[in-house]
Chains A and B, each alone.
Chain A
């Protein structure tokens, strides 16, 4: 499967191993560090993860890197998963400073996933990545993705000096709404400046990734976007859902007496969906979010705070949660959100 346009060969990244840590590899393009090759856990690290956190994270390398699509499907069978919605690993931080390189590399990634979808018996759906520095060039990539199995458009909460609510991105939202594709705001941080500011030893990924993503959801609720794009669906993925009551409470309180008061039912009113973790306080979250706007995922392929390979099985077996609510979160809601 070859995916980078031949004319764009000058943008082909190379993988380099860190001289300080042979376990770390980085993508380089003309000396620019595009980000690390995602450090998925090996067998030893997976065992340690289970011991410390009680969550399985180990995946076969052929499955997570999709060199063997059939292996991935068989693993999904073992996990009781019919359909996975695939997200990138490399675009979770800003990729490159060069708009032309961003366009070329986004095309390559989206073509790769289009090929995966063709091999995946329609069980491997995906969200496209975008050249966010050039929204006009994002539009044809969104159209391509829609025609090749994509079920969402991946946006980062912050892109350099802009938040995702900025009108700069309205061409993307306009096209997504027209094509009935949701905007999937996966945990990410596309602003190197904000990332640097939020980086500290104690805060870790909570500061650098989760807080900016939750902030973007609050900004979306308070912005004109739900009225400007009333049919567009929005999802906040891999940030758990425990923060939802806090954000809704703040939005209701701060919008009182304003031109557009926010109600406690705003997730449903504004087509906003949030993915959960098995250790979320579901009754509390549902008391604010309702049961119709929640999803659940495994974070398959990664091995971090969010990752739980058996999340689906554990959620199905959870006691004290209505079976109808479980069915909504496992099936009805993601079908509606992704348009599957």
Chain B
């Protein structure tokens, strides 16, 4: 980083959702009791 002489930013790239997005979330320990 950077891979080029200027810091090139791709302003529009995508992710494609899979079933992993809907896996169950385990909250970090510090969040217990706050939700």
Contacts and interface: CB of A to CB of B under 8 A. Distances in A.
B16 interface: yes
Nearest to B17: A90
B19 interface: yes
A38 B15 CA distance: 9
B16 A38 contact: yes
B29 interface: no
Given A331-B9, A340-B9, A108 B14 contact: no
B25 A2 contact: yes
B6 A89 contact: no
Interface residues of B, number: 26
B12 interface: yes
Interface string B15-34: 11111111111100000000
Contact of A82 (B7, B12, B20): B7
Contacts of A121: 1
A326 to B, nearest CB: 9
A83 B4 CA distance: 11
Interface of B: 1-4, 6-26, 35
29 contacts: A1-B23, A2-B26, A3-B22, A5-B35, A12-B22, A13-B22, A38-B14, A40-B16, A76-B3, A82-B7, A82-B8, A83-B8, A83-B10, A84-B10, A85-B10, A85-B11, A89-B14, A90-B17, A112-B20, A121-B1, A238-B12, A299-B12, A299-B13, A299-B14, A300-B13, A301-B16, A302-B14, A306-B12, A340-B9
